[in-house]
Amino acid sequence: MKETDREAVATAVQRVAGMLQRPDQLDKVEQYRRREARKKASVEARLKAAIQSQLDGVRTGLSQLHNALNDVKDIQRSLADVSKDWRQGINTIESLKDVKDAVVRHSQLAAAVENLKNIFSVPEIVRETQDLIEQGALLQAHRKLMDLECSRDGLMYEQYRMDSGNTRDMTLIHSYFGSTQGLSDELAKQLWMVLQRSLVTVRRDPTLLVSVVRIIEREEKIDRRILDRKKQTSFVPPGRPKNWKEKMFAILDRTVTTRIEGTQADTRESDKMWLVRHLEIIRKYVLDDLLVAKNLMVQCFPPHYEIFRNLLRMYHQALTTRMQELASEDLEANEIVSLLTWVLNTYTSTEMMGNVELAPEVDVSILEPLLSPNVVSELLDTYMSTLTSNIIAWLRKALETDKKDWIKETEPEADQDGYYQTTLPAIVFQMFEQNLQVAAQISEDLKIKVLVLCLQQMNSFLSRYKDEAQLYKEEHLRNRQHPHCYVQYMIAIINNCQTFKESIVSLKRKYLKNEVEEGVSLSQPSMDGILDAIAKEGCSSLLEEVFLDLEQHLCELMTRKWLLGSKAVDIICVTVEDYFNDFAKIKKPYKKRMTAEAHRRVVVEYLRAVMQKRISFRSPEERKEGAERMVREAEQLRFLFRKLASGFGEDADGYCDTIIAVAEVIKLTDPSLLYLEVSTLVSKYPDIRDDHIGALLAVRGDASRDMKQTIIETLEQGPTQVNPNYVPIFREIIVPSLNVAKLLK
């Protein structure tokens, strides 16, 4: 307490010191004293009130504890009285055991009396129930069956209660009601028969299906009641629980499975389209059945049965099993396509599960796939392998068929524009188109794979096509009289190359959506190069035909016979024009190049005739006559090839200008200007070699050896500028030696 007093005094001193820090505050000492006195009085009042409240609570608690003690003592006395009464009543309870047994026997006898009528009428009820089942009155039959089972179960329950170990009496009751189980089984058979035909029954006689469902629902309620009683008494009547609802769904499941499996009416041996027919029947049956289930069957079943959802699950599972069975068979390529198209597309399309009449109960987005991705992948691999073999075989067969056409005695057919063609491109690309259309029905990925495969095989096929065309040419060269229509069929082969190119582009444009996909496929230039090579070889072989016929007349050029008035160029022009009348059946891209090549080769052969020194002019008059004849023939050739090249939009007159330029050198009368004329010729045609100039001067016949040497040496010293657009024409002309020139003369 002293310590507390000291702390209080110290606190008071501190507070007073805080109040009296300035002299003027001394005047307020009395005011401070009164304020502190009021605070003290207030605190003391609150303290007294708190202490009084605590004292009142303690007083109340003591009073309640006193009352509780009295109550405990009263309860203790009451329990003692009850214990005394219970000990006295034990003897009384034991003396009532006989009464209890009498009550049990009375209860059993009461049950027997209650069921006495049914017991005596069991045989009659059994016969009536059997008759009702045979008549199809299932509800009435079930009512009587329930009465029989109720009587049997009631008697057996009472016997079980009285003496659960007395199997003799239980067996006697069960034997007496033995026909009841047979009736139950017979009724169940009738119910299952109706359920097996439920999709038909619901259309013809929905009342019958409703009766079946009502019977099953009754049995379910009885099962539940018996199972509830089992928890209390452990007694279960024979044949219970029947679980008819569970069996009903099992029957429906087997019915669905049987219906799916039973749709296969044909085999591969009897009908090549067996799988297509089988899948179409499945599609039709499943769609019809589900529509019936949604629109009619749901009205015959309680909502909690969820009959449509369960049937949908059953059909989906049955289809999954059936599709897996089909996938495991050794299917052909077209059958794999049919199966995958049906599984991946048809099943979820509006023709089946996506049908608007099945919505919203059927959501195709949540349906599990009928075939696993691994199975689908295996089928696709098998399909691609088979398709590869088939395409190779088809292409080989198509080429063999086309080769047989090449040796026919009749001309090939022409298209609508009059160009010769064979059926090969149409056959090949019709085959590609069919396979791509089929693949596109399955998936975009498969479509791209098939397109790549087709282009790969096309590449290999074109190489074989090129080899066969070359063999065709070589066979003809061994005997130019065979085949009879060689030219026409070679034209058709050339035209086929253009058709192939156009068809490849068309195929890519149709089946490749964007550049990214196009990068997946083979490059177009590789096939274009092969096709151009085939066409070029074909054009060359046709020109060989022309120049084989022109050979004799080309040999007359620049000879004495030619100078005296040969008709060689006239015949050459007529022959070329006659051939090019046939070549008009060649499509423009190749005909254009072929015409230009024919023009170039005729001019080269003309120039070769000059360079072979078949003639040496003896006088200025001969040189003039020969040069003028060369100019006339050059113009004649120019006119011919202008006519042949009409419509191509190109002018190749430069080739004939070469003959005229050479004629100018020959025609020159003043030998002193010969160097200038030759240098002009060399500047125009920089591929002229020294031997060409020597041969040209030899043809003139008036140039000495020294003059030739001087001109050649002077030209060699002079710089030459080559035009980048210049096409060499003298490069392939070989000047024969002197002895060869004499032989040519």
CA distances, 69 to each of 64, 72, 275, 662 (Å): 9, 5, 95, 153
Question: How does pLDDT run across 443-498, given as a tens digit for each residue?
Answer: 888 888 888 889 889 889 999 999 999 998 888 888 888 888 888 888 899 999 99
Distance CA 461, CA 464 (A): 5
What is the pLDDT confidence band of residue 314, given thresholds at 50, 70 and 90? very high
Q: Say how many C-beta atoms besides its own lie within 10 A of residue 627's C-beta.
A: 20
- Could you report the per-residue pLDDT of 330-358, keeping only the tens digit for each? 888 888 888 888 888 888 888 888 888 88
Q: What pLDDT is recorded for position 604?
A: 92
Amino acid, res. 527: M
Lowest mean pLDDT among 225-239, 278-292, 623-637: 225-239
Which pair of tokens denotes residue 736? Answer: 């024969």
Which of these, 684, 556, 655, 573, lies nearest to 609 by C-alpha position?
556
Q: Say yes or no to pLDDT of 360 above 80.
A: yes
Plot region of 22 (φ>0 → left; ψ -120 to 50 → alpha; else → beta) = beta
Residue 516 has pLDDT above 50, yes or no: no
Topology of 376-524 in CATH?
A: Tetracycline Repressor; domain 2 (1.10.357)
Pick the residue with more confidence: 21 or 568?
568
Q: Which residue is associated with the tokens 């007694």? A: 235
For the segment 279-289, what is each residue's pLDDT rounded down to a tens digit?
899 999 999 99
Does the pLDDT value for residue 85 go beyond 90? Answer: no
**Could you give the 3-state DSSP secondary structure of residue 420?**
strand
Show Cβ contacts of residue 408 under 8 Å, excluding neighbours closer than 6 positions.
483, 485, 489
Q: How many CB atoms lie under 10 A from the CB of residue 283?
A: 19
- Give, in order, the Cα–Cα distances in Å from 97 to each of 91, 104, 191, 440: 11, 11, 50, 89
Bridge partners, residue 414, by sequence: 420
- Residue-wise burial string across 581-596, b where 16 or more C-beta atoms lie within 10 A, e elsewhere: eebebbbeebbbbbbb
* pLDDT for residue 378 is more than 80: yes
**Phi then psi for 414, rounded to 5 degrees?**
-115, 150
pLDDT reading at 742 higher than 60? no
User: For residue 395, what pLDDT is reported?
Assistant: 92
Q: Kindly indicate the confidence band of residue 374, based on its pLDDT and cuts at 50, 70 and 90.
A: very high
Task: Answer whether residue 86 shows pLDDT above 50.
Answer: yes
Burial class for 419, CB neighbours closer than 10 Å (0-12, 13-18, 19+): buried
Which residues have CB under 8 Å from 522's CB, separation 6+? 452, 455, 456, 459
376-524 and 554-732: identical CATH topology = yes
563: which residues sit within 8 A by CB, 6+ positions away? 615, 622, 625, 626, 629
pLDDT for the residue 427: 92
pLDDT band at 525; cut points 50, 70, 90: low
The span from the first CA to the last CA of the chain, in angstroms, equals 161
pLDDT tens, position by position, 179-234 = 777 777 887 888 888 888 888 888 888 888 888 889 888 888 888 887 877 777 76
User: How many whole angstroms separate alpha carbon 518 and alpha carbon 451?
Assistant: 10
Mean pLDDT of the chain: 82
CA distances from 547 to 82, 198, 679 (A): 143, 87, 32
| pLDDT band for position 741 (cuts 50, 70, 90) | very low
C-alpha closest to that of 422 among 550, 538, 338: 538
At residue 162, the pLDDT reads 64
Alpha carbons within 13 A on the beta-carbon side of 142: 19
Name 150's Cβ contacts closer than 8 Å, sequence gap at least 6: none
In the predicted model, is pLDDT for residue 722 greater than 70? Answer: no
pLDDT above 90: percentage of residues in the chain: 11
Separation CA 173–CA 149 (nearest Å): 11
For residue 414, give the 3-state DSSP assignment.
strand
Question: Over 50: is that where the pLDDT of 517 sits?
Answer: no
pLDDT at 225: 84
- DSSP track, 646-672: TTS----THHHHHHHHHHHHHH---GG
Select the CATH number that applies to the domain covering 554-732 from these four: 3.20.20.30, 3.40.50.720, 1.10.287.990, 1.10.357.70: 1.10.357.70
CB 133 within 8 A of CB 211: no
Residue 721: the pLDDT is 61
The full set of domain ranges for the chain reads 32-242, 247-371, 376-524, 554-732
Q: What is the pLDDT of residues 120-154, one digit of tens each?
A: 666 677 777 777 777 777 878 878 777 777 767 66
What's phi and psi for 302, nearest 5 deg?
Answer: -60, 150
Task: Give the pLDDT band (50/70/90) at residue 616.
Answer: confident
Query: What Rg, from alpha-carbon coordinates, does the chain have?
Result: 58
Using CB atoms within 10 Å of the CB of residue 132, give its burial: 0 to 12 exposed, 13 to 18 middle, 19+ buried. Answer: buried
Is the pLDDT at 3 greater than 50? The verdict is yes
What Å distances lie between residue 735 and 491, 660, 682, CA to CA? 34, 19, 16
